Amino acid sequence: MSAATGSNRVIERDLVVIGGGPAGLAAAIAAREAGGDVLLIERDRILGGILNQCIHDGFGLHRFGEALSGPEYAGRFISRLRELDVPVMQNTIVLGLSRDRRLLVSRLGELQEIRARAVILAMGCRERTRGALSIPGHRPSGVYTAGAAQNFVNMENIMPGSRICILGSGDIGLIMARRMTLEGAKVEAVFELLPWSSGLPRNIRQCLVDYGIPLFLSTTVVDIVGMGRLEGVRVAQVDEQRRPVEGTERFVPCDTLLLSVGLIPENELAREAGISLSPITGGALVDADCMTDVPGIFSCGNALHVHDLVDRVSEEAERAGRAAAAYVSGALPKADAPVAVRPGAGVRYVMPDHVSVPKVISGPEKITLAFRVTEPRRDGVVRLTTDDGVVLKEEKHPRLHPAEMVWASLDLSQFEEMKRSGKTLEVSAS
């Protein structure tokens, strides 16, 4: 990116938040409330991100004690953003981001450079596609990611098809099973490769069981059939290595296949800026303030790691917003050797990747850890231990499930102690 020409003004801002979905909204609000100058950039025509198409209820149980729909949940944050007069650029896409926080932004009639003192990455995530799954077969019409189908049905008044199969039991797929049923489509089945569902239990109950839609675990689509329109899918059971078992194949006629097979944090910009990413989450490696390894660039929400509940996205993003505002005002202590946080047995990843000490003004003297377990457990135990085996905390969980994020916290003083003694924190589940 070269410096813009004289005729193109370069805009300077303290803090730029990229993305106006739940994470970006909460981050911008928190930063503004902390007294910062904030600009929010949103690529769509409206704020709220994916929440706009999530018209089902269940958002805000933690935060507002109510079961709101997605647009309503977003609406509350948008109202607050307007009260605070946070400037917003809508229909605007960030094309480039450099390590020194120069952004190239584009919108109708305008391509310009913005220099920011701090940036919050809140671009959300994208859906894994058929290509990434390597499903054999034809390429007929009628194969959609569940999120794209949700967009068509709930935003554009377009019905993708009438006889539906769903691959993957992620929440969007479950929600769409009910949604399509309510609109008169016949949902034949949901197929899940894993021996457990990757959706929330209440969604299994309310979206599938209520409507008599069968869920087949350890089953996957092995062939997509149809030269023009989808005619059906061939499914098979899989063994422990997730390989199709011979003799279990059957053909399920359908005209539409929805894929709900995982979400990938959107991090093209982070990559361009040279930010280190986690190979497990696909998001940035951050400290407890959500700061990446490029000073002044923060990440939160589904761009950081894919969440199960939007309430937690808002919480995490507020932490990022406060910290970014502190960074701009010079109040964020400079990080030296941080305390590393590592997943132990039974844990896939832990957020944050490390805790910078001294921290922080971005919250109370507690450090929040979010993590996911590798497999479902009943009556499980979560342990926070130092790398030399000292148990700092032990919590019982009647139920641990990979689909559900687990939260724990430790006092900042415990991290200070770990730092003094040069230790690492490990989070494990059994």
- Closest contact distance (angstroms) between CB of 340 and another protein is 24
- Closest contact distance (angstroms) between CB of 349 and another protein is 16
Dihedral angle of Cα 400, 258, 283, 105, to the nearest 10 degrees: -150
β-bridge mates for residue 368, sequence order: 409
Count of Cβ atoms closer than 10 Å to residue 254 Cβ = 25
Count of Cβ atoms closer than 10 Å to residue 269 Cβ = 22
If the CB atoms of residues 170 and 321 are measured against another protein, the closer one turns out to be 170
If the CB atoms of residues 183 and 421 are measured against another protein, the closer one turns out to be 183
- How many Å apart are CA 221 and CA 193, to the nearest integer? 9
- Closest contact distance (angstroms) between CB of 236 and another protein is 11
If the CB atoms of residues 183 and 394 are measured against another protein, the closer one turns out to be 183
- How many Å apart are CA 245 and CA 267, to the nearest integer? 36
The amino acid at residue 67 is A
**Is the separation of the CB atoms in 362 and 324 below 8 Å?**
no
- Closest contact distance (angstroms) between CB of 357 and another protein is 31
Nearest by Cα to 405 from 62, 129, 57, 19: 62
If the CB atoms of residues 131 and 389 are measured against another protein, the closer one turns out to be 131
- How many Å apart are CA 97 and CA 128, to the nearest integer? 24
- Closest contact distance (angstroms) between CB of 201 and another protein is 3
If the CB atoms of residues 277 and 361 are measured against another protein, the closer one turns out to be 277
- Closest contact distance (angstroms) between CB of 206 and another protein is 6
Nearest by Cα to 154 from 189, 127, 132, 178: 178
If the CB atoms of residues 106 and 248 are measured against another protein, the closer one turns out to be 106
Count of Cβ atoms closer than 10 Å to residue 290 Cβ = 30
The amino acid at residue 394 is E
- Closest contact distance (angstroms) between CB of 342 and another protein is 22
- Closest contact distance (angstroms) between CB of 293 and another protein is 19
Count of Cβ atoms closer than 10 Å to residue 323 Cβ = 31
Beta-sheet strand order (sheet of 354-355): 354-355, 339-343, 425-429, 377-386, 391-400
If the CB atoms of residues 34 and 94 are measured against another protein, the closer one turns out to be 94
